[in-house]
Every structure is written in C-alpha cells, then in structure tokens.
Amino acid sequence: SAVISQKPSRDICQRGTSLTIQCQVDSQVTMMFWYRQQPGQSLTLIATANQGSEATYESGFVIDKFPISRPNLTFSTLTVSNMSPEDSSIYLCSVTLGLGEQYFGPGTRLTVT
C-alpha cells in the first residue's frame, strides 16, 4: 500500500467561507478520487482527480462548489466553496494501486457553523 496523508485532519468553518483540503501520497499514482462521508452514512464519490486536466464529477457535484486540482501524480486538493451546514461531513481522498485496489486517506472532518 501507499502512505496517504490529508491536511487538515479537521476544521470548523463559518458559513459562506471556503476550505481547501490537501491529499499527499508517498508514491506516484495514476488515479486519485475524492469522497464524502456524511455522519453515519456510506461513501459517496465526488469526483475523479485527473492529472493535468479537469476533474470528472459525479452526478450531483459541480466544479463551482468542489473545485479540484491535481498538479502532479502525488498530490491533489479539494476545495469546498461557499460552505453551508449541509457540507458538514468527512472528506476522504483515495488512490488506486497495483491492480486497482483503492486505499483511503485518513479523512478531513469538516464542521460548518
């Protein structure tokens, strides 16, 4: 597996502000993904972070709300824009290795007040 880190681990933000979450991997990976996990719920894919091109968003998620960067094969950021309390959630990045196994970062717990 790979060592995956996320920053920040948690944050409390005010309504209307934006937060950028960083995901760093200790080796080059082809695929990186961003997920949201609302309290007590399953994991929902937000988007695929594509290196060198625009992210691919899932239904219900848009670039204006969740802009994503992927400047290289070891790093990606997810921004949660113009936050509302409904955005309170855990945000996780994941990477695929080897034959496609997906491994998750530790997550960022976001609370919007």
Partner 1 sequence: GENVEQHPSTLSVQEGDSAVIKCTYSDSASNYFPWYKQELGKRPQLIIDIRSNVGEKKDQRIAVTLNKTAKHFSLHITETQPEDSAVYFCAASIRGGATNKLIFGTGTLLAVQP
Contacting positions for partner 1 (CB under 8 A): 31, 33, 41-45, 48, 56, 59, 92, 100-107
Distance CA 46, CA 79 (A): 12
For partner 1, the closer CB: 61 or 81: 61
For partner 1, the closer CB: 44 or 69: 44
Per the CB < 8 A criterion, the answer to whether 104 and 93 are in contact is yes
Q: How far is the CB of 18 from partner 1 (least distance, A)?
A: 24
Nearest to 4 by CA among 109, 108, 106: 106
Q: How far is the CB of 102 from partner 1 (least distance, A)?
A: 6
Q: How far is the CB of 12 from partner 1 (least distance, A)?
A: 17
For partner 1, the closer CB: 18 or 56: 56
